[in-house]
């Protein structure tokens, strides 16, 4: 969705949700505070002038460089970025929302970062959030059934994290 007027309405409707935007990127995006994501999505889906009635995709991007030498050159701080791709069926326009989360909740390794689930807005978000939880290790609070979806239930670690190490052994099956 291009244009600032819509963004202004968004800011007005969900105060404090929007913390940044980039309208010149290939896919213009709006950054939303993680805690307000569900509220923002509810407004976008149900009340906004452009009804974003469909959630196409949730992606977690792990911004982390395991190699310390390379990490030193990076301009960004390690974080997990959640990207929501929204689509409006009546208007045929898309919207990209981004959320910046810490890699670990409270910077305690092993504690998964949390943000509110949007399953209450789109029921289709259920499986997408489960997938993000499974592969990237983000906990969605308020999700009705947050389990692993692609990996086995007893799998350890979250494979799409950059510091993930493949287990050497899984139930007697040799890894690596």
Residues that bind another protein (CB under 8 A): 25-27, 53-57, 59, 61-62, 83, 85, 87, 89, 92, 94, 96, 122-124, 126-128, 131, 135, 148-152, 159-160, 164
Residue placing its CB nearer to another protein in the complex, 36 or 128: 128
CA distance 146 to 134: 9
Residue placing its CB nearer to another protein in the complex, 39 or 129: 129
Closest CA to 63 of 28, 14, 98, 35: 98
Residue placing its CB nearer to another protein in the complex, 16 or 124: 124
Instruction: Please state the closest distance from residue 26 (CB atom) to another protein, in A.
Output: 5
Instruction: Please state the closest distance from residue 12 (CB atom) to another protein, in A.
Output: 26
Instruction: Please state the closest distance from residue 57 (CB atom) to another protein, in A.
Output: 4
CA distance 166 to 160: 11
Residue placing its CB nearer to another protein in the complex, 36 or 85: 85
Please answer whether residues 28 and 22 qualify as being in contact, where contact means their C-beta atoms are separated by less than 8 angstroms.
yes
Query: What is the C-alpha end-to-end distance of the chain, expressed in Å?
Result: 44
Residue placing its CB nearer to another protein in the complex, 63 or 104: 63
Instruction: Please state the closest distance from residue 33 (CB atom) to another protein, in A.
Output: 20
Instruction: Please state the closest distance from residue 98 (CB atom) to another protein, in A.
Output: 9
| 61 bridge partner residues | 81
SS (H, E, C) 90-142: CCCEEEEEEEEECCCHHHCCCCCCEEECCCCCCCCHHHHHHHHHHHHCCEEEC
């Amino acid at each position: 969705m291009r244009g600032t007027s819509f963004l202004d309405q968004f800011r007005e409707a969900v105060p404090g949700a929007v913390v940044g935007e980039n309208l010149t990127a290939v896919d213009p995006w709006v950054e939303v505070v993680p805690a307000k994501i569900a509220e923002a999505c509810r407004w976008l889906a149900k009340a906004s002038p452009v009804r974003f009635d469909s959630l196409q995709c949730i992606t977690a991007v792990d911004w982390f460089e395991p190699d310390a030498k390379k990490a030193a050159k990076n301009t960004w701080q390690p974080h997990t970025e959640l990207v929501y791709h929204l689509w409006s069926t009546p208007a045929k326009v898309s919207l990209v929302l981004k959320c910046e989360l810490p890699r670990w909740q409270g910077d305690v390794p092993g504690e998964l970062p949390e943000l509110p689930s949007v399953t209450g807005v789109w029921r289709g978000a259920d499986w997408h959030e489960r997938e993000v939880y499974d592969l990237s290790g983000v906990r969605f609070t308020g999700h009705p059934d947050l389990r692993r979806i692609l990996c086995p239930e007893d799998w350890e670690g979250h494979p799409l994290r950059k510091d993930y190490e493949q287990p050497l052994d899984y139930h007697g099956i040799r890894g690596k």
